[in-house]
Amino acid sequence: MSVIYDVETIGFVPALAYGLNFTLITVIAVYLHYHKLLPLLFEKRYVLYAILTLCTVTALNIVYMVIDYNLPFSYPMEESYFISYGYNSLSFVLVMIVSSMFYYVREWHLRQEREEHLRMQKLQTELDFLRSQINPHFLFNTLNNIYSYVQTGNEKTAPMIEKLSSILRFMVYDGNNTSVELNKEIDAVESLLEIHRMKNSTQSNIRFLWEGNKGYHLVAPLILINLVENACKHSDAVSNPKGFIHIDAKVIEDKFLQFSISNSVKQLSQKVTAKVGGLGLKNIKKRLSLLYGNNYSITENNDGDVYHLKLKIPLERKK
């Protein structure tokens, strides 16, 4: 606005020269304040900040006025030196205040990004740790089952190893991903159940019922299979003709997976029961909490004879 006013009084070229001088000094003031002085406030060096800011305003004011008064143009000054100094100082302070607002907004945004990055890094570290505990837990239990067949030379050993190989392939190649196709997780569950069925060819009460389309959904890996492995471990379906493992899975409204397990429970002593399988299920719940927050639900009921578990988790869609 002052340049337009000066054009009418002293002409375009002189007004442009005076305007550029003020703009250049203002840019220098903003740069020094933004990059050199404001960091002192974040370091809580308030006295040093105040002193250096005052010195900066004074020095820039002097430089501006020296250049202004020595330009080769006739400029009819209406204000006194002190009035001009005060006006310029106020202008510098105002642009510094504006730059401070941008600085604080930028620092707040960067701090939020750093905190989110650290949170995600911590979350991934915890998930990797829990996953590393679950995988050996599953492998240890399954290999124990196969070992008993190897000892007796049972013909079902080879098919069992083949099923275990497919499960391990899934765990190695897909288990480290943040999400996996639901049908792959279901295939791994079915392979695990087939291993369990092979232990007792007369047992027909191990079933898995599926409802809904699973071809284009994604879930967190190694959740369902480890829940089923936990049920297989604690069930007496192999040794008890009346024992059972019933698993039902259903896609609800293309948004949620409802997964339920019911199984008969081995009749062990209370002391032994308390020690067996606690780590695996505890880690699964911890993973669910880290992955889904409050967007999932899991309920359990164990009356000593039958164990029930119901899980509901959100589903993603393949892009």
CB proximity list for 78: less than 8 A, separation 6 or greater: none
Cα 212 from Cα 257, distance rounded (Å):
9
Q: What is the pLDDT of residue 269?
A: 41
Output the pTM of the full model: 0.57
pLDDT confidence band for 225 (50 / 70 / 90): confident
Length of the chain equals 319
Cα 191 from Cα 162, distance rounded (Å):
9
Q: What is the pLDDT of residue 132?
A: 54
DSSP category for residue 183: H
Q: CB of 299 within 8 A of CB of 310?
A: yes
Q: What is the pLDDT of residue 41?
A: 76
Q: What is the pLDDT of residue 83?
A: 64
Count the alpha carbons within 13 Å of 222 in the hemisphere toward its beta carbon: 31
User: C-alpha 60: how far from its chain's center?
Assistant: 47
Q: CB of 317 within 8 A of CB of 217?
A: yes
Q: Round to the nearest angstrom and report the end-to-end CA distance of the chain.
A: 54
What is residue 148's three-state secondary structure?
A: helix
Q: At what angle are helices 81-152 and 182-198 packed, to 10 degrees?
A: 20
Cα 247 from Cα 231, distance rounded (Å):
10
Which two structure tokens, joined as six digits, stand for 245?
Answer: 């493992």
User: pLDDT tens, 176-223?
Assistant: 778 889 999 999 899 989 888 887 777 789 999 998 877 789 988 888
Which two structure tokens, joined as six digits, stand for 294?
Answer: 């409050």
With a cut of 60, say whether residue 226 has pLDDT above it. Answer: yes
For tokens 């994604």, what's the residue?
Answer: 218
What is residue 180's three-state secondary structure?
A: strand
Phi-psi region of 153 (alpha: psi -120 to 50; beta: other; left: phi over 0): left
Higher-confidence position of 239 and 131 = 239
User: pLDDT tens, 8-56?
Assistant: 556 667 677 777 777 888 888 888 887 888 888 777 788 888 888 888 8
Pairing mode, if any, of strands 245-252 and 206-211? parallel
For residue 275, CA distances in Å to 72, 279, 319 come to 93, 9, 43
Burial 95-134 (b: 16+ CB within 10 A, else e): ebeebeeebeeeeeeeeeeeeeeeeeeeeeeebeebbeeb
Q: Cβ atoms within 10 A of the Cβ of 88, count?
A: 21
Q: Which run of H or E residues covers position 234?
A: helix 224-234
Q: CB of 34 within 8 A of CB of 103?
A: yes
Closest C-alpha among 139, 159, 110 to residue 225? 139
- What residue type is assigned to position 177 of the chain? N
Q: CB of 214 within 8 A of CB of 183?
A: yes
With a cut of 80, say whether residue 6 has pLDDT above it. Answer: no
Strand spans (E) along the chain: 180-181, 206-211, 217-219, 245-252, 256-264, 297-302, 306-314, 316-317
